[in-house]
Structure 1
């Protein structure tokens, strides 16, 4: 179809003539509302960005001779990271003579991976890297799932808190009403006392 005839058709239909495939022989054009087309593409791109997850690797550093309480604290951080859907890189740093005992670090990493087995799995097994030994733990569930679950838990907690506050308010109102009734009765009895004396 000649270009001027296609343009006339587009004007009659109150649409735009958009070239879809310029390299084809002959070039392919389409009648469409170009503004609406651009808007829908922008919406699709925004939705795709919203559903996209960024892989974040958190790092936790340990020493082979770590104390029990310190180990529990570090393990708590690892649990929190895995629960949030992030990967965790565990690094054990060796110093001096510790470098000749890599089995200490290996045992510590195995213990940690067993302790957090319900939240994550060993993505890359422990490897010696110069003075350090490195292991990567991956979460069992994706970050989007973890975010949704955290949001649901937070909403439930807020609803519970609102219900408790409403209950407390009702109790305070009932208590205040009881006090005012007692005060009125006391006032009446005080008013009656002078009459009895008279």
Structure 2
């Protein structure tokens, strides 16, 4: 919930609301004025939790503390996310076998570091008319990578590139 979506204290002006306390106590269905008085007497905020319910549900709580805990949860969730790093290796259709071997050697190092590797074959000039030339190069690369990585999808043509993404094999 962001601050813009949440109605607080005097902003809540429904004739009747279902009011709940911060420690689980239920005040029942009362007017929003009464709910506001209860919140003020406890030194807390009245927060609209569910505006679409019949009647709307409000909670008496410390909104600053609530917002702080939500932000803390979001930061913790973000920390636990795993960032996938994709290394891109460009090839041409006229590449020699020893150059492919050299680039595949680097790709294998990246795969061992649990990074994803995307091979891109650049199509130039008339090669754009027949992208199969790029697919031939990628198939040679794929044969060299199959023992350590698996292709995520089939090779695809993107404008003047033919690309193929490899991910590490699961252990």
Specify if TM > 0.5: yes
Q: Going by fraction, where is helix more abundant, 1 or 2?
A: 1
Q: Is residue 2:54 matched to residue 1:25?
A: yes
Which moves more between the two structures, 110-119 or 38-47? 110-119
Structure-2 separation of matches of 1:127 and 1:49: 31
Structure-1 separation of matches of 2:160 and 2:32: 71
Cα-Cα RMSD: 3.5
C-alpha change, 1:23 and 1:124, in structure 2 (3 Å) is: closer
May I ask how many residue pairs the two structures share in their alignment? 141
| Structure 2 unaligned blocks of 5 or more | 1-29
Query: Residue 67 of structure 2 corresponds to which residue in structure 1?
Result: 38
C-alpha change, 1:39 and 1:96, in structure 2 (3 Å) is: closer
TM norm structure 2:
0.60
| Structure 1 unaligned blocks of 5 or more | 142-198
Structure-1 separation of matches of 2:62 and 2:44: 5
TM norm structure 1:
0.53
Structure-2 separation of matches of 1:71 and 1:8: 75
Structure-1 separation of matches of 2:156 and 2:40: 68
Q: 1:87 aligns with which of 116, 130, 133?
A: 116
Q: Going by fraction, where is strand more abundant, 1 or 2?
A: 2
Q: Give 1:30 shift.
A: 0.6
